[in-house]
Amino acid sequence: AQRVTQPEKLLSVFKGAPVELKCNYSYSGSPELFWYVQYSRQRLQLLLRHISRESIKGFTADLNKGETSFHLKKPFAQEEDSAMYYCALRASGAGSYQLTFGKGTKLSVIP
C-alpha cells in the first residue's frame, strides 16, 4: 500500500523568504506525484504534477526517487501563497486512478 507523509502541519514564513513544503512517500513502484492547493474558501485544485516538470505560480517540485521525496519549493514567498497544501500520489500501472493524499501543510506567509 502507498503512503504520503507531510511532516509539517503548519509552516510560517515571512514574505520574500524561501519556502519548502516537505513530502515523502512510500510506494514500491513508480508513482506519479502531485501537489494540490486549497486557498481559503476555495476548492482543492491541482498546483503541479511531477511529469509536467513545470513551474506554476513560481513553485517547483522535483521527484527524488532515491529519497522518495517530492518537496515543493518557491524561492520568494508571497502573501497570496497562504493556503493548505496537499501532496498526493497515484500508483503506476493498470487500474491506478485513486489519489493517496498526505495530511496537508498549512502555509502562512507573514507580511
Partner 1 sequence: GAGVSQTPSNKVTEKGKYVELRCDPISGHTALYWYRQSLGQGPEFLIYFQGTGAADDSGLPNDRFFAVRPEGSVSTLKIQRTERGDSAVYLCASSPGGLQKTQYFGPGTRLLVL
Contact string 15-54 vs partner 1 (x = CB under 8 A): -----------------x---x------xxxx--x-x---
CB atoms within 10 A of CB 37: 22
Residue 95 lies near partner 1 (rule: CB under 8 A): yes
8 sits near partner 1 (criterion: CB under 8 A) = no
Q: How far is the CB of 80 from partner 1 (least distance, A)?
A: 20
